[in-house]
A and B are shown apart, each in its own frame.
Chain A
Amino acid sequence: MKMIIDGRGIYGIPGETILEAAKRAGISIPTLCHHPAFPGQGRCRLCLVEVNRKGVKRVVASCTYPLLEEGEEGEEMEVKTSTPEIEEIRKDIVMLLYKQAPASKLMQDLFRQYRCAENSLRENSGEKCILCNLCARACEEMGTGAISLVMRGTEKRLATPFDEASPDCIGCGACAAICPTGAIEMKDDKESQKRHIWHQHFDLVPCARCGELFATKKQLDFIARREGKSYETSYYCEACRKKHTAKTIADFRRRRE
């Protein structure tokens, strides 16, 4: 359907969201909980835009607002990504998210960038998580599903079941990699060859050739299980796996000669 975003005429593909259409056209809308692999969460509300349809103005989250087929509500839609009203709302959202996660560098920067005023609202001191749920989505998609949002209201947080070491967690670190605020701590200890994450110490596997710690034992088991075969060469790191292949080719040619 045809629509106008910030004065520019854009054709949106039915089914995609305003945010996706805007991104495709190179119009940027600020987001925190959006990741192209996990679109449409609508959690952080930072992507709010003003939609004008049939003369009715509404403020909607652009990451969850779908575009309809042409003709269904046929007329043009006008979207404004930045108006004084929207900016004011965004400022409040940033302020609230900062109060939720004041220890996060990203939120501190955004707090300054949006020129939010200090106020007396209680800070969730020491917290870095803004509850965007991306880590839980990543974990679920990995096929492990070891973490999720628990509790309600002000006590809501991301955790493993009962805050204990989860047998489902494979220590891959996808959650820590996707976290926008760096709230998930993952520590690799080279001496004891352990990775610490989510109340657990995972065995890191050293490469059989060079000794580099390249994955956790559970990660290798997970891949072997998923592919239904054993992975003897996977106990080499990437670089040594290449070398191993080259060496095998060299030996093979020598034998043929």
Chain B
Amino acid sequence: MEKSLVIKPEKCTGCRTCELICSFKHTQETNPMRSRISVFCFEKVGFSTPIVCQQCSKPACMEICPVNAISKSEETGAMIVDDIKCIKCKMCTVACPFGATIYDPVLDVVAKCDLCYGDPQCVKYCPSKAITYQAADEAHILRRKSFAEKFRGFYEEVNK
């Protein structure tokens, strides 16, 4: 069964280890600016959460790509960008509703979470286990769907 990143914001301490290891894994540089995962802390309300690609079931990045350089990996279910085929039009970075697809000007590639091809480093190094890589069972999917439904209602309300 396909596994996915499960994020528990209540466990996130905002240490940003995931950002460092992500950029190190993909760019051999510990530079949070080039990380595919970003942590946001709201000190006043005592809340922090990492934001990363959701590997959507209807991915906007994949749909907008004019040359079909983004495809769903059969192994991990992640959307993978074919750097060689990509023409760097950057439409996917604009189309992603979460801003999880970014352009890396140093490597001249479009960077997004590729689940480290089945071995996500952020999961490995997260000290508080706020990010886990789990296979989703039926009950889990239902729970997520009901949460997503509630969240959508809220999201539409605040974005009116």
For A249, give its contact among B9, B64, B87 (CB under 8 Å).
Answer: B9
Question: Are A242 and B40 in contact (CB-based, < 8 A)?
Answer: yes
CB distance from A138 to the nearest CB of B (A): 5
Question: Are A178 and B87 in contact (CB-based, < 8 A)?
Answer: yes
For B51, give its contact among A35, A215, A234, A242 (CB under 8 Å).
Answer: A242
B51-73 to A contact mask, C-beta < 8 Å, 1/0: 10000000010011011010000
Q: Answer whether residue A251 sits at the interface, using C-beta atoms and an 8 A cutoff.
A: yes
* Contacts known (A177-B88, A177-B89); A250 close to B49, Cβ less than 8 A: yes
Question: Are B42 and A250 in contact (CB-based, < 8 A)?
Answer: yes
Q: A-side binding surface: helix, strand, loop or mixed?
A: helix
* Contacts known (A138-B87, A250-B47, A252-B151); A245 close to B98, Cβ less than 8 A: yes
* Contacts known (A248-B158, A252-B154, A253-B47); A234 close to B90, Cβ less than 8 A: no
Q: Answer whether residue A174 sits at the interface, using C-beta atoms and an 8 A cutoff.
A: yes
Give residues in A with beta carbon < 8 Å to B. Answer: 35-38, 138, 141-143, 172-174, 177-178, 214-215, 219-220, 223, 226-227, 231-234, 236-255
Question: Are B99 and A236 in contact (CB-based, < 8 A)?
Answer: yes
For B87, give its contact among A174, A236, A245 (CB under 8 Å).
Answer: A174
Question: Are A250 and B45 in contact (CB-based, < 8 A)?
Answer: yes
* Contacts known (A37-B67, A241-B97); A248 close to B89, Cβ less than 8 A: no
Question: Are B94 and A215 in contact (CB-based, < 8 A)?
Answer: yes
A-B contact count (CB 8 A): 117
Residues of A within 8 A of B90 (CB): 172-173, 177
For A37, give its contact among B69, B93, B99 (CB under 8 Å).
Answer: B69
For B100, give its contact among A236, A242, A251 (CB under 8 Å).
Answer: A242
Cα-based distance from A201 to B82 in the complex (angstroms): 32
Query: Of all chain B residues, which has the CB nearest A244?
Result: B99
Question: Are A251 and B99 in contact (CB-based, < 8 A)?
Answer: no
Query: Of all chain B residues, which has the CB nearest A214?
Result: B94
Residues of B within 8 A of A238 (CB): 93, 96, 99-102
* Contacts known (A138-B89, A141-B67, A233-B97); A248 close to B49, Cβ less than 8 A: no
Question: Are A178 and B64 in contact (CB-based, < 8 A)?
Answer: no
Question: Are B64 and A226 in contact (CB-based, < 8 A)?
Answer: yes
Tell me the B79-97 residues at the A interface (CB within 8 Å): 82, 84-91, 93-97
